[in-house]
Amino acid sequence: MSGPSHPLRTAAAALGAVLLAAGLVAGPAPSPVRAAATITNPGFESSGASQTPTGWSESSSSGQQSASFTEAGGRSGNYRLSHWASGAYRVETYQQLTGLGNGSYTLRAWVRSGGGQVAAYLALRNCGGAEQRVSIPTASSWTQVSVTAQVSGGQCTAAIVSDARAGNWINVDDVEFTGGGTGNPGGAAQIRGVDISTLLKSQDRGGVYRDSAGTQRDPLQLLTSNGVNYARLKVWVNPADGYNNRARVLTMASRIKAQGMRLLVDFHYSDSWADPGKQNKPAAWSGYSFNQLRDAVYNHTYDVLNALKAQGTTADMVQVGNEINDGMLWPDGRSNNWANLAALLTAGSNAVKAVNSSTQVMLHLAEGGNNSQHRWWFDQATSRGVPFDVIGVSHYLYWHGSLGSLQANLNDLASRYGRPVLVAETAYGFTLNADDGEPNIFNSSSQSAGGYPATPQGQADALRAVFDVVRSVPNGRGLGVFYWEPTWTAVAGNGWDPTNPSSGNGWENQALFDYGDRALPGLAVFGSV
C-alpha cells in the first residue's frame, strides 16, 4: 500500500504441514462450536423452479411474496434463489434454525446483484442478541459474503432480504450456516495479520488505543487478544523522519515477537513510499551502476534481516519489493527490462535465505483481481528462475474490483504456480467523516465502489468477506490476510509525508479504532476467521 492518494498512489494438507514446519503459520486454532442444525436446501435444488423453495419461508410486508422465487442458473447445480419484481417490493426468504449450542455462528452465501436497492442483505436475527447484517454488494459475478452472530437460546433465523425498487434484482446460491466458520473449505485462517508500520510513531506522538469498552490498552496486546497472529513492518532505507528504518524496525520487531506474533518484513527499497505508481531509488543509491544497485539490494536486505536475527527476532516472511507490478528501483528495474528486474529480485531473495533458509520470500503485486497482468508478471518471474515461496496481492474493494475477481485470481495463481497465496493488504472505511484536516482516501465514491456501507459493521463485514475468499482457495493454499494500518489513527505529527511533520492522515477512517480510540467490530473479526 502506498497510503494517501495524491503522491502515494498514481495509478492441501501436505502444503499446510510444510508451512507449519517452516514456522510460516501458527498451529491449528481450537475446535470451534459446531452447528446442531444446518440450512435445508442450501443450493435451492430440491424444488427446482418454484415460488417457494423447499425448506424456506417467504414474507413480505406488502404481500409481494412472489418477488422471491427459484429459477434456472445456479452458481453450482441448476437453480438459484432470485428476488425481482416489476414494481417496488420488499421481500425476505428465511429459515429458522433450532437446536443450536451457544456460540458464534456464521451465515455465508454466494450472491450477485444489479444494485440500486434501498437495502439488500443477509441477516441473522432472533439469535439471542442484536440482529447482524451484511450487505449484498453490486456484482455481476458470483461473490461470497458472510455475517456472524452470537447464538444463545438455541435458535437463530437466517434471512435473505430485499427492500427494492422496480426491476432491482439479486441472485443467491450455496448458502451455509456453520459454527465458528467451520464450513469454509480452507478452515481457520492461518495468517491473521496487520501492517502496523506507523504504530511506533503514533505512540511516540501521543497516540493511545482502547478496547471496545474504552479501557486504554497496549495496542499489541489488544491486537493479539483479538486473534491477530502476524505483524507486517515496512522498511525504508533512509527516511526523512527516521521511522521505518532499520533501527525502528528492530524496536518494533522486539515488541511484536514478545507478543508471540510472527513477523513479515516489507522492503520498499526506497526512502519513502513505493507502489505501482512510483518506485524511486533511495538517494544514497541514485548514482549506482546496475551491478552496484543489485549488490545494494542484497546488502541492505541482508543487513536488516541479520540484525533482526541477531536480536532474536528472525523474520518469518519477507517481501522483496512492495506492489511491484511495474518493477522496482526505476528505471533500472522497471518491468520493461525483466532481465534487470529478475536480477534484483533474485538478489533480494538470496539475501533472505542467506540469513535464514526457512524465512519465506513473498513477491507482492497490487490489483488483486487483475488476473491477466498477474499471469504475465509471474510467468516472467518464473521463466527467469526468480526464487520465491509465497504470492501476495493487495486488494482494496473500492480500488481493485470485486471479491469475485479476487477469488478467481487467487485460485488461478495458486494452481498455476503451485505456491500459497495471501492478501498482503486490504482495508475499508467505517465512516465517511474525517478526524483531521487531510482529505480521506475512502469517501462516498469508495463506499459505492466497495459495495459495503461505511459503518463499523460494514467495515467488519468487508474484512470478513476478504478472509472468506482467501480461505476458500483450493488445496489449503489460501494463507490469510493482512489488514493495512489498523492503528493509523489521526495523531498530530504522524501524517502521510515523512518529509513534512505537519502533514495529515488520509487513512484514519479505515483504521480499526474509532475517533475515540476504541476498538471497532472489525478487530474482532480476526478471532473468528
What does the H/E/C string look like for 80-105?
EEEEECCCCEEEEEEEEEECCCCEEE
> How far are the Cα atoms of 61, 280, 305, 308, 355 from residue 311, in angstroms, in the given order?
65, 30, 10, 5, 13
Torsion over CA: 200, 430, 3, 462 (sign): positive
What CA–CA distance (Å, rounded) separates 78 from 72?
6
The active-site residue out of 92, 323, 485, 508 is: 323
Under 8 Å CB-to-CB from 494, ≥6 apart: which residues? 198, 201, 202, 205, 207, 488, 505
- In this structure, the number of other CB atoms found within 10 A of the CB of residue 439 comes to 12
Active site residue 131: no
Question: How many Å apart are CA 349 and CA 25, to the nearest integer?
Answer: 20
Residue ranges of E strands in 114-252: 119-125, 132-135, 139-151, 155-164, 169-179, 191-195, 230-235
**Cβ contacts of 215-222, under 8 Å, gap ≥ 24:** 216/517, 219/487, 220/196, 220/255, 220/256, 220/258, 220/259, 220/261, 221/259, 222/519, 222/523
| SS (HEC) of 167-187 | CCEEEEEEEEEEECCCCCCCC
What DSSP element (H or E) covers 53?
none
**Matching residue, cell 495509478:** 11
Set of cell numbers at residue 41:
436446501
Q: Supply the DSSP string of 368-382, one letter for each residue.
A: TT-HHHHHHHHHHHH
425 is catalytic: yes
- Choose the catalytic residue: 367, 425, 485, 508: 425
Cα distance between residue 35 and residue 158, in whole Å: 13
Radius of gyration over alpha carbons of the chain, in Å? 23
Secondary structure class of 422 (helix, strand, coil)? strand
Residue 490: partners with Cβ closer than 8 Å, 6 or more residues away? 434, 435, 436, 504, 505, 508, 515
Active site residues: 323, 425
